[in-house]
Amino acid sequence: MIFPEKFVWGAATAAYQIEGAVKEDGRGQSIWDTFSHSPGNVADGDTGDVACDHYHRYRDDVALMRELGLAAYRFSVAWPRVQPDGRGPANPRGLAFYDRLVDELLEAGIAPYLTLYHWDLPQALEDRGGWTDRDTAFRFADYAAVVHDRLGDRVHDWATLNEPWVAAFLGYGNGVHAPGRRSPADALRAAHHLLVGHGLAAARLREAGAGSIMLVVNSSPVLTPAQVNDPAAVPAEADAAAVDRVHALLTRQFLDPAVHGRYPEEVLAAAGRNGGTGHLLDGDLEVINAPIDLIGINYYNPCVVEAGPGLPADAAWPGSEDIRFAPADAPVTAMGWPIVPDGLSRLLVRLSQDYPDVGLMVTENGAAFDDVVEDGRVHDADRVAYLRGHLREVGRAIEAGADLRGYLVWSLLDNFEWAEGYRRRFGIVHVDYATQVRVLKDSALWYRDVIATNRL
Ligand code: PNW
């Protein structure tokens, strides 16, 4: 399988998951500092205080990327490094880190893909209501402008939000992520304000001359249990309705407003029954509908559902009453997530049909496995198989006509896996947290060859 000539190969990370140095150079506190330091929220009491110490080791890490031949590196900027309280003048020492990182990347011939928000909201803004407060959207747009002002001369590719579904529904809905609130109504409000923030920021970036603007979503094809292994299976009417509703709640909730300027009925109905729709103001959809160049897709697994009469909505899924989230008949990763490679092509083809005027990029895909280091090597055949299987589906989606521009593996490094802490390893590069020694796993060496030959 040969990939298109200009296909962009890369890897992704996020600030809180790798940087450490949480008190350095004037960085303010984020909701993830607060959350991870509160007992019971993160496995083994892990925090991002040190993480991969990337803040001090970024030169070595860029050297690894160069060794792998990456054309692109997606990272995120920590808002509280730039604006410690989430508002006001920029903290020059915080911005200077990203300045150095970007220069190092460009020197190595690697295109920086900059994500503005990968979940580390300044705690000072959370104290005023966080994403449930409309004002946070305006603060986010100001922050976007501040970052672009400093880096826009060298960074071409910008992403506003990473996975607003996770930020809203795990952060404010079921409380598994920071800030740990548990309110379906708050989650729906947060989701909307995240979208308003996206639209306002996209407009500011455009105005400032940003080269390319992207919204990154976590998305999954929504399937019935039978469809997991048989794409042709025809679901019963009630199951098909459950599939459509969950697709609306997961993916269309974000992409329909952003790309088409309208909310799905299912989302309006969910809001109606959870706190109301009073936060949806006239003009918001026009703001959210700011033109974007790319949709970033983070894919890990399909979402499997069926009708289950009488069931209450899952805490993270307001609007999912009478729907059962079912296990998939498939092998799983160390996260317990089912491995269904052709879910990726099914998803990409669907999105390219639903949003035909916007390009697509796989901005995250990868897997956690229980890696072992043997004689200074990590023989992660399971991860190689996962990536190979998913890349084949990337190729198939392109053959089927999807306008897919690139693929970024999650993740470059083993890192702080949110509520799972350091016990789950997603990297193609192994990190020994005691010594900070990095070792290229077999998957990294394999990926290097894919990139070098542009074929599978
Ligand atoms: C994404 N879910 O998170 C994030 O963008 C990464 O920061 C993260 O490390 C990676 O995927 C692996 O988890 C998700 O529960 C976390 O549906 C949770 C979910 C989805 C994505």
pLDDT in tens, 194-209: 999 999 999 999 999 9
The verdict on whether 237 is a catalytic residue reads no
| Residue 400, in any domain of the structure | no
| Residue 86, in any domain of the structure | yes
| Residue 200, in any domain of the structure | yes
Per-residue pLDDT, 350: 98
Ligand 1 proximal residues by C-beta, below 6 Å: 14, 17, 162-163, 166, 218, 298, 364, 410, 417, 426
Per-residue pLDDT, 318: 98
Per-residue pLDDT, 28: 98
Give the 3-state DSSP-derived string for 337-383, with helices as H, strands as E and coil as C. Answer: CECCCHHHHHHHHHHHHHCCCCEEEEEECCCCCCCCEECCEECCHHH
Please name the amino acid found at residue 187.
A
| Residue 441, in any domain of the structure | no
Per-residue pLDDT, 198: 99
Per-residue pLDDT, 258: 99
Other C-beta atoms closer than 10 Å to the C-beta of 71 total: 16
Per-residue pLDDT, 180: 99
Cβ burial of 56 (10 Å; 0-12, 13-18, 19+) is middle
Per-residue pLDDT, 419: 99
Give me the residues of the chain with pLDDT under 50, please: none
> For a substitution probing ligand 1, which of 194, 361, 364 has the most ligand atoms within 8 Å of its CB?
364
Atom of ligand 1 nearest to the CA of 162: 5
Decide if 213 contacts 292 (C-beta within 8 A): yes
Alpha carbon nearest to ligand 1 atom 18, residue: 166
Domain residue limits at 84: 8-329+405-415
Per-residue pLDDT, 217: 99
Atom of ligand 1 nearest to the CA of 216: 5
**pLDDT (tens digit, 9 = 90+) per residue, 333-378?**
999 999 999 999 999 999 999 999 999 999 999 999 999 999 999 9
- 317 contacts: CB under 8 Å, gap ≥ 6: 169, 173, 246, 249, 323, 325
Decide if 410 contacts 402 (C-beta within 8 A): no
One-character DSSP codes across 271-292? HHHTT-STT--TTHHHHHT---
> For a substitution probing ligand 1, which of 222, 250, 410, 426 has the most ligand atoms within 8 Å of its CB?
410
| Residue 387, in any domain of the structure | no
For the full predicted model, state whether its pTM sits above 0.90. yes
**pLDDT (tens digit, 9 = 90+) per residue, 426-452?**
999 999 999 999 999 999 999 999 999
Per-residue pLDDT, 144: 99
Atom of ligand 1 nearest to the CA of 163: 5
Per-residue pLDDT, 343: 98
311 — phi, psi (to 5°)? -80, 140
Per-residue pLDDT, 252: 99
Structural domain total, the chain: 1
The verdict on whether 364 is a catalytic residue reads yes
CATH number at residue 137: 3.20.20.80
| Residue 20, in any domain of the structure | yes
Per-residue pLDDT, 422: 99
Per-residue pLDDT, 355: 98
| Residue 450, in any domain of the structure | no
Per-residue pLDDT, 187: 98
Q: How far apart are CA 175 and CA 189, in angstroms?
A: 15
Alpha carbon nearest to ligand 1 atom 2, residue: 166
Spell 215-234 as b/e; 16+ CB within 10 A means b. bbbbbbbbbbbbbbeeeeee
| Residue 365, in any domain of the structure | no
Per-residue pLDDT, 271: 98
